[in-house]
Amino acid sequence: MSRIALITGATSGIGKATAEAFAGAGINLILCGRRQEKLESVVAELAQKVKVTTLLFDVRDKKAVFDAITSLPEEWKNIDILINNAGNAHGLGSLDEGDTDDWDAMIDGNVKGLLYVSKAIIPTLIANKKGHIVNISSVAGKQTYINGAVYCASKAAVEVLSEGMRLELTQHGIKVTNVAPGAVETEFSLVRFKGDEERAEKVYQGFDPLQASDIADMILYAVNAPARVMIADVTILAGAQSAATTIYRK
Ligand code: NDP
Ligand code: 8X3
C-alpha cells in the first residue's frame, strides 16, 4: 500500500521539491502551507501522479495546527512520514538591534510550530508502530554566525528535538532523521531580507548553491532506506561551502 507523507512548508523551496520527489516515488501527499494559491499549483502539478490533499495553516497557530490535522478524513489519517520543513529566517541582525517580532516569528515558527505539528501526528505513528519523522534543521543549527544568533538558536533547538524524538520514538519503530542543509537557493533569503530581491540574490552569487532538489533527493533516500538503516543526521553543504558562512566565491 502507498505511504502517506505530510510535508509542512510545501509551497516552495525544499518542501515543494520534496513533494515532487515523493510524488515520483508513489508516496501520497498531505501538503501544508499558508499560501493557498501556491499549494493549489503544487497540487495541479502532482495530482496526476499520486493522491494529494492540502491543509492550510500557520504552524505558529497551535489551535489551527491541531484542528487541521484532526480534521483529516479517515483515508488520510494514517500518516507514515512527517517532514517538518516549514520555517524561515527573519532578518539578520545583532542581539541589541534585532527586531523582536522577527525573533518571535523564528522561535514560534521554527521551534514551537515544529513541536505542535509533531505532537499532532506522533500518537498516530506510535499507535501504528511505524513511521518516519524528518526534521529540516540547518548548518546554522550546528554553527552559530554573527547576526544570526536567534535563527541559529531556533535551528539548534531543532537539532536537539531530533535527538529527543529519536530517543523517545525508536522503541516504537519510528525513525527520526535530522537534515542540516547549507546554502540552498530558495525563497529563504527573500523572506529573510523581507522581499529585497537584490540582497537575496547576492547570497547565491559567485558559487553554485545547493538546489532544493538536492535536499529532496537526500530526504527520499532516508525514507526509502531499508528498515535496518536509520539515517540519523545528515549535513549537506554546497560544493564551495566549508562552513555556514565560509563560501568560496569566484
Ligand atoms: P522557502 O522560504 O522557500 O520555504 C519555506 C516554507 O515554509 C514555505 O513553504 C512557507 O510556506 C513555509 N512556512 C514558513 N513559515 C511558515 C509558517 N509560520 N507556517 C506555515 N508554513 C510556513 O525556504 P526553504 O525551502 O529554504 O526553507 C525550508 C526549510 O529549510 C526551513 O526550515 C529553513 O530554515 C530550512 N533551511 C533552509 C536553507 C536554505 O539555505 N534555503 C538552509 C538550511 C535550512 P508559506 O509561506 O506558504 O506558509
Ligand atoms: C539556512 C542556511 O547558513 O543561511 O539555514 O543560515 S544559513
Active-site residue, selected from the candidate residues 151, 204, 221, 248: 151
Residue 246 lies in a domain: no
Q: In whole angstroms, give the CA distance from residue 16 to residue 141.
A: 22
Alpha helices in 28-141 (DSSP H): 36-46, 62-70, 74-77, 100-106, 114-128
Query: Hey, what's the cell of 212?
Result: 532544493
Residue 244 lies in a domain: no
Q: In whole angstroms, give the CA distance from residue 227 to residue 234.
A: 18
What is the SS3 assignment for 130? coil
Helix-strand-coil percent breakdown of the chain, rounded to 5? Answer: 45, 20, 35
Could you list the residue range(s) of the whole structural domain that residue 208 is in? 4-239
pLDDT of residue 57: 98
Q: In whole angstroms, give the CA distance from residue 139 to residue 108.
A: 20
Q: State the distance from the centre of ligand 2 to the C-alpha of 95, rounded, in angstroms.
A: 17
Residue 249 lies in a domain: no
- Counting residues of the chain whose pLDDT is more than 70, the rounded percentage is 100
pLDDT of residue 115: 99
Identify whether 248 is a catalytic site residue: no
Query: Hey, what's the cell of 227?
Result: 528498515
Q: In whole angstroms, give the CA distance from residue 72 to residue 76.
A: 6
Nearest residue by C-alpha to atom 7 in ligand 2: 140
ipTM over 0.90: yes
32 Cβ inside 6 Å of ligand 2? no
Strands 131-136 and 81-84: parallel
pLDDT of residue 1: 83
244 Cβ inside 6 Å of ligand 2? yes
Q: Which of 85, 79, 108 is nearest to 33 (CA)?
A: 85
Q: In whole angstroms, give the CA distance from residue 237 to residue 27.
A: 27
- 26: domain CATH number? 3.40.50.720
Q: Which of 238, 193, 246, 192 is nearest to 215 (CA)?
A: 238
Residue 213 lies in a domain: yes
Residue 229 lies in a domain: yes
Q: State the distance from the centre of ligand 2 to the C-alpha of 189, rounded, in angstroms.
A: 9
Which helix (H) or strand (E) element contains residue 47?
A: none
pLDDT in tens, 10-22: 999 999 999 999 9
Nearest residue by C-alpha to atom 5 in ligand 2: 138
Q: State the distance from the centre of ligand 1 to the C-alpha of 141, rounded, in angstroms.
A: 15
The pTM assigned to this predicted structure is 0.99
Q: In whole angstroms, give the CA distance from residue 44 to residue 21.
A: 15
Which residues in the chain land under pLDDT 70?
A: none
pLDDT of residue 215: 99
Residue 30 lies in a domain: yes
Query: How many domains does the structure of the chain reveal?
Result: 1
Residue 92 lies in a domain: yes
Residue 248 lies in a domain: no
